[in-house]
């Protein structure tokens, strides 16, 4: 894997002309381990020094709001559609030109063209192949609370942004009452909460603490490299349990480095960077004609399993989702 990482990162952004040295500030809700090689190669190829502030989406969105016009951020690189949508609705982003958006899949590109999807992840159910037969699992995530045989054997990460985005869409589709009932039904099964640690949750599954877990597809792909007895279960096509969610980046209107910020966004959706995100992180690319690992469903297949969702519904319902979790004593 180290050899693969070096080979891919060596290709990132080759051919880009070196510009005058400037500084760019990026607020990243994406973890450093997943994106730092892309940032470093951008610096080497362009001569632009990138200062990255890492944090959770919630922390960085709050910082941008508090800083207002004084914010040093040029680019916000979000870990979820929910956070990106919040800032877009507040008018924080500049509109992106067609040169940035024309080659990107329309599946997660917002109509406002104010932020750019960079990768796509899908919610799914991980299961221990030595304990669970996939045919015993429900067709819909809405029926998961009925699985009383899994009491005390379910893992979830209620503080993780993708989980809260999922609940936000559930509210949009099913309403608050049914979402509250789902949360209470799940709580009755005494699930183990791993906060934001999806990796820790799958390690717990390998250790026998739990048998199934609500997570994102790429975490399962990563542990499969280590031959863990864990596999991916998708619910029926269109089920909310298969929700697709994008990472993405936008340029702050207050940025004083708009041109270089646009170069950075362009680098994130260039073929070599997209190959890196797929081959190392196992996230689906947002541009076409990139060879996928055989362990992953083709994008054309997995996108059919995800419900069709207006991305603007997530930010509108995040606070409602968090309130339901607090009311249930889970946050």
**Known binding residues for Fe cation:** 218-219
E strands, the chain, are: 22-28, 48-54, 75-78, 116-128, 154-156, 192-193, 212-216, 230-233, 244-251, 284-285
Cα 260 to Cα 37, 42, 104, 186, 315, distances in angstroms: 18, 11, 19, 47, 28
Query: Shortest CA distance to 224 belongs to which of 282, 167, 274?
Result: 282
- In our burial notation (b when 16+ CB lie closer than 10 A, e otherwise), range 281-290 reads bbbbbbeeee
Cα 279 to Cα 9, 142, 234, distances in angstroms: 11, 32, 22
Residue 258 CA to residue 255 CA, distance in Å, equals: 6
Q: How many CB atoms lie within 10 A of CB 225?
A: 11
Query: Shortest CA distance to 206 belongs to which of 170, 231, 239, 187?
Result: 231
Residue identified by tokens 């993780």 is 160
SS3 state of residue 9: helix
């Amino acid at each position: 894997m180290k050899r693969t990482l070096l080979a891919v990162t060596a290709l990132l952004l080759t051919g880009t002309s070196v510009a005058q040295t400037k500084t760019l500030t990026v607020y990243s809700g994406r973890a450093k381990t997943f994106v730092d090689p892309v940032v470093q190669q951008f610096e080497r190829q362009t001569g632009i020094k990138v200062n990255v502030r890492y944090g959770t989406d919630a922390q960085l969105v709050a910082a941008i709001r508090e800083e207002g016009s004084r914010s040093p951020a040029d680019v916000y690189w979000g870990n979820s559609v929910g956070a990106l949508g919040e800032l877009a609705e507040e008018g924080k982003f500049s509109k992106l030109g067609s040169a940035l958006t024309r080659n990107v899949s329309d599946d997660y590109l917002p109509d406002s063209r104010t932020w750019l999807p960079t990768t796509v992840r899908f919610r799914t159910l991980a299961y221990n192949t030595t304990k669970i037969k996939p045919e015993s699992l429900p067709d819909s995530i809405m029926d998961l609370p009925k699985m009383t045989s899994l009491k005390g054997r379910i893992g979830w990460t209620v503080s993780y942004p993708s989980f809260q985005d999922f609940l936000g869409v559930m509210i949009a589709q099913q309403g608050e009452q049914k979402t509250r009932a789902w949360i209470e039904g799940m709580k009755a099964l005494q699930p183990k909460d791993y906060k934001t640690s999806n990796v820790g949750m799958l390690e717990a599954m390998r250790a026998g603490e739990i048998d199934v877990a609500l997570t994102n597809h790429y975490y399962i792909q990563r542990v499969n490299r280590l031959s863990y007895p864990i596999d991916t279960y998708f619910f029926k096509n269109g089920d909310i349990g298969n929700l697709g969610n994008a990472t993405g980046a936008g340029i702050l209107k207050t940025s004083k480095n708009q041109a270089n910020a646009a170069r950075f966004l362009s680098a994130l959706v260039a073929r070599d960077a997209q190959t890196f995100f797929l081959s190392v992180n196992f996230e689906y690319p947002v541009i076409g004609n990139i060879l996928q690992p055989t362990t992953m469903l083709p994008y054309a297949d997995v996108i059919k399993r995800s419900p069709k969702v207006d991305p603007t519904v997530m930010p509108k319902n995040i606070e409602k989702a968090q309130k339901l979790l607090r009311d249930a004593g889970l946050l």
